Amino acid sequence: MISFTPDAAIVTLADGTQLQLKQQPVASGMWYTSGKHEFRGKGSEATWGVGRMVPTQCKTD
């Protein structure tokens, strides 16, 4: 689950761990990162990345 504040995204993982990702400047869409974790999106498409792992594609309904 992801909730948003004016300058951050709060990500709650399946095990209950919460991560705060700071909003980053981007020309279009959104980008939040903690350095290791990253959430990017535009429109109904998004990606979730952890470190060097291949990002997971996400989509809203």
pLDDT of residue 1: 87
- Tell me how far apart the alpha carbons of residues 61 and 32 are, in angstroms, rounded to a whole number: 21
* Per-residue pLDDT of the chain in tens (61 residues, 90 and over written 9): 899 999 999 999 999 999 999 999 999 999 999 999 999 999 889 999 999 999 999 877 6
pLDDT of residue 59: 76
The pTM assigned to this predicted structure is 0.86
Give the burial class of 30: count Cβ atoms within 10 A of its Cβ; 0-12 exposed, 13-18 middle, 19 or more buried.
middle
CB 40 within 8 A of CB 46: yes
| DSSP 8-state code for residue 35 | S
In the Cβ-directed half-sphere of 14, how many Cα atoms lie within 13 Å? 0
CA 43 to chain centre: 14
pLDDT of residue 33: 97
